[in-house]
Copies of this chain bind each other. A is one copy, B any other.
Amino acid sequence: MPDAPKPLVGIVMGSKSDLPVMKECVELLKRFGIPHEVSIISAHRTPGVAREYAMGARTRGLELMIAGAGMAAHLPGVLASWTTLPIIGVPLASGALNGVDALYAIVQMPPGIPVATVAIGSAGARNAACLAAQILGLKHPAIAQAYEDYRREMAHSALPAGTFEV
């Protein structure tokens, strides 16, 4: 049996409760054929794990990380502080502020240390995978092709204009 390909993308989330949303990201990465791994790492409860994970990512062959987090969502920014690989941040809608807190805590990074932020919740989880495919596709033609196919399929499933029956 051949070895599984080495992961290119590390998906990280702060808590197991984030999994139902972040799973939509994982499913799309599978569809695009992007090798990946999934971790549960809290930026606040286990900062040392987050640090080691991010610092070792490039050496281990990861090319980008996707981090989903809610509330004062520091995880994407904390990973970004320990690596120079691109980080995609997914704000999750947990708690009373329904994801606005997570959005602001992820997107408003100070100059020098960006996080590529996508939409709050489920749409963002899926778009994190699409953005990863766009980025990795610059270097890996098969991934570019897989994302092109996905876009074409979305377009083809559309109805001719003006023909919808209500």
Q: Which residues of A come within 8 Å of B, CB atoms?
A: 7, 10, 12, 14-15, 19, 23, 26, 37-49, 51-53, 63-64, 70-72, 74, 77-78, 80-82, 84-86, 88, 93, 95-101, 103-123, 126-128, 130-131, 134-139, 144, 147-148, 150-151, 154-155, 158-159, 161-166
Counted per complex, copies of this chain come to: 8
How far does the alpha carbon of A154 sit from the alpha carbon of B166 in the complex, in Å? Answer: 25
Task: Please tell me if the beta carbons of B95 and A114 are within 8 angstroms of each other in the complex.
Answer: no
> In the complex where A84-B147, A138-B63, A162-B38 touch, is A127 in contact with B104 (Cβ < 8 A)?
no
Which residues on B sit within 8 Å (CB–CB) of A162? 7, 10, 37-39, 53
Task: Please tell me if the beta carbons of A43 and B81 are within 8 angstroms of each other in the complex.
Answer: yes
